[in-house]
Structure 1
Amino acid sequence: MKEITSIQNQYVKNLLKLQEKARERKKQGLFIIEGKREISLAISANYQFDTVLFYPELISEKEILHLFNENINRIEISKEVYQKLAYRASTEGIIAVTKTKDFSLNKFQFKNKNPLILVAEGVEKPGNIGALLRTADAANVDAVFIANPKSDLYNSNIIRSSVGCVFTNQIAVGTSVEMISFLQEKNIAIFTATLQNSNEYHKENYTDSSAIIVGTEATGLTDIWREAATQNINIPMQGQIDSMNVSVSAAIILFEAKRQRGF
């Protein structure tokens, strides 16, 4: 088993690149996960792991082997190295270097014949994407589609804010054009959350195959989604503002769909 004690180590410098740069994650096909819960969720989702780094004052090698197996490549790191690599303070002393998955839409297959899907178009803030993934997991939707993504899903902020739900959801990534074509080919109704020419969300029927489409809080959805919609829907506001956080809006509509489906 190897040991790394210096933050000047080239491997450590490469891990910092993986944390900070999407192009490095894409180029190397690797990303970083911190924390036992997040790593456990990735294990359950059949992610493959390259290397596990651990700080023995916080987690023992025995605990590492309990999570993985004796064949996993393990590196013991010093406190200095751990503090340099750790994205947040409370990650239990474990960092996993993990192989990325292909989120291409053309490889996506539904497990359910009557799916409920959340589609998020052009959402920029990693925290909002993470919150949407948490919402999707809570509602146990069949898929989350990210249209026109502004950040790759292995961004550390997304993993952290999703509390690992980037691993629990079935995800596909693509352009809005590709996703509209995909949904129409599968005869999936498209319900776009927008104020223009819309009905109140609770008056629609989501019991058949349905996709709930949400956009950015600043600009909403692009015209292509509104034009492709089976029905535009809105959440009636009862206060003085005219919008809510995108993950809150998604949650309201998704749980109405789940209620109609008897869950």
Structure 2
Amino acid sequence: MEIMSPQNTRVKEWAGLQEKKHREKAHKYIVEGVHLVQEALLAEADVEILAFDLDKGMPAELKDHLQAVQGMEVVGVSAAVIAKCSSTNTPQPVFAIVRKEQHGAEAILSVKDSFVVVLDGVQDPGNVGTIIRSADAAGADGVILGQGCADLYNPKTIRSTMGSMFHLPIIEGDLAEILPQARERGALLVSTSLQGEESCYSHDFRGSQWLLIGSEGKGISPQTAQLVDKSIIIPMAGRAESLNAAMAATILLFEGMRQRIYSPKINT
């Protein structure tokens, strides 16, 4: 099938997925670029449509994956259609429309000795995406996005994950409900604070640990803070006042990974 006009009704629907209200109504989102589309296909995400620039042809990296996806519609489109549906100034030659998959919190809560990142009011989509990427790299069991966080399906969030959003469960939910359940199942709820009781390098990250990351300006909310079991500090030898949320989360994740995987006998 081919669609050449950017005024086509379907094209207008696809372009509308750049806005959150349309994504929520359709329960779909758009993924742009060869790498992200390839990651979606490899992860067997629920890809509804794959659209590619007819003039440039189907990217070689995707050809081997087309037969493996059942029920996916492949559509050749014009450069004008690509441009209308793109969120960047230099559009990629391919995009996919993906149906949202709803993960329940149980997908993470049921994991024994879970290592989880919880975001509370992290509004910058680049930070949210980068934290998801770091969580994936460090072997975390999942990411929880509380209310007030940037939308997981924001194009900038998706780009910042570099495909990691397809590699681990990401739950959007109410922290007031999820965090008490995690504690009941033995999770230690840990946050960062300049008044932290202990350095992140002496804290024991083994066992079930949920790392709470708040917004750069305000930190975690007062409601979430009441649930915290322990506050730790990221020591800084220089004069910087603070780290952004993604940097702080990455430091904690990789120290946790070091202890849990590479130094399992630490602090014994």
Give TM-score, length-normalised by structure 2.
0.89
The Cα shift of 1:64 comes to 4.9
Q: What residue is the counterpart of 2:73 in the other structure?
A: 73
* CA shift for structure 1 position 180: 1.6
Cα distance between partner residues in 1 of 2:60 and 2:166? 24
Equivalences, count: 260
Counterparts of residues 111-260 of structure 1 (less than 5 Å): 112-260=111-259
Alignment match of 2:37 (pick from 36, 39, 49): 39
**Superimposed CA distance per residue, residues 181-224 of structure 1 (whole angstroms, 9 cap, x where no aligned partner):** 12112110111112235321112111111111111111111123
Q: Tell me, yes or no, if the aligned pair for 2:46 and 2:101 is still in contact at 8 Å.
A: no
The 1-side partners of 2:57 and 2:111 are apart by 39
Asked if 1 retains the 8 angstrom alpha-carbon contact of 2:109 and 2:182, the reply is no
Equivalence for 2:23: 25
1:95 aligns with 2:95: yes
Gaps of at least 5 residues in structure 1 are: none
Match of residue 49 from structure 1: 47
1:85 aligns with 2:85: yes
Identity %: 28
SS of the equivalent of 2:226 reads: helix
Q: Secondary structure at the match of 1:152?
A: coil
Alpha-carbon distance in structure 2 between the residues aligned to 1:9 and 1:196? 57
- In the alignment, the residues of structure 2 paired with residue 30 and residue 74 of structure 1 have an alpha-carbon distance, to the nearest angstrom, of 17
How big is each residue's C-alpha offset from its partner over 1:4-50, in whole Å with a ceiling of 9 and x where there is no partner?
1111111111111111x212111111111112221222223321111
Q: Aligned letter for 1:36?
A: V
Question: Contact between 2:38 and 2:61, CA under 8 Å: does it hold in 1?
Answer: no
The alpha-carbon distance between structure 1 residues 205 and 34, as it changes in their structure 2 partners (threshold 3 A), is same
How far does residue 119 in structure 1 lie from its aligned partner after superposition? 0.9
Amino acid across the alignment from 2:87? Y
Q: 1:64 to 1:239 in 2, by over 3 A?
A: closer
Aligned AA (2:85): L
* 1:123 to partner: Cα distance: 0.5
- Aligned position for 1:5: 4
How far apart in 2 are the matches of 1:172 and 1:182?
A: 14
Cα shift readout 1:48-107 (whole Å, capped 9, x = no counterpart): 1111111123233876542222853121111211122223366651111111011442x4
Letter in 2 for 1:32: I
For the Cα contact (< 8 Å) 2:121–2:214, is it kept in 1? yes
| In 2: Cα distance, 1:126 partner to 1:64 partner | 27
1:93-148, CA deviations, whole angstroms, 9 ceiling, x for partnerless residues? 1111111011442x424574211111111100111111111111111111111111
Change (3 A) 1:191 1:64: closer
Tell me which moved more, 57-66 or 77-86.
Answer: 57-66
Preserved CA contact (<8 Å) 2:192 2:232: yes
Letter of the 1:260 counterpart: Q
Q: State the distance in 1 between where 2:5 and 2:159 align.
A: 26
8 A contact 2:108–2:142 mirrored in 1 = no
Q: Which letter maps to 1:59?
A: G
Which structure 2 segments of 5+ residues have no match? 263-268
Equivalent-residue separation in structure 1 for 2:124 and 2:57 (angstroms): 32
Is the 2:108–2:141 Cα contact (8 Å) retained in structure 1? Answer: no
TM-score w.r.t. the length of structure 1 is 0.90
195 and 145 in structure 1: CA distance in 2 versus 1, 3 angstrom threshold: same
Q: Cα RMSD (Å) of the superposition?
A: 2.1
The answer as to whether partners of 1:235 and 1:249 remain within 8 angstroms in 2 is yes
CA contact (8 A) 1:192 1:225 kept: no
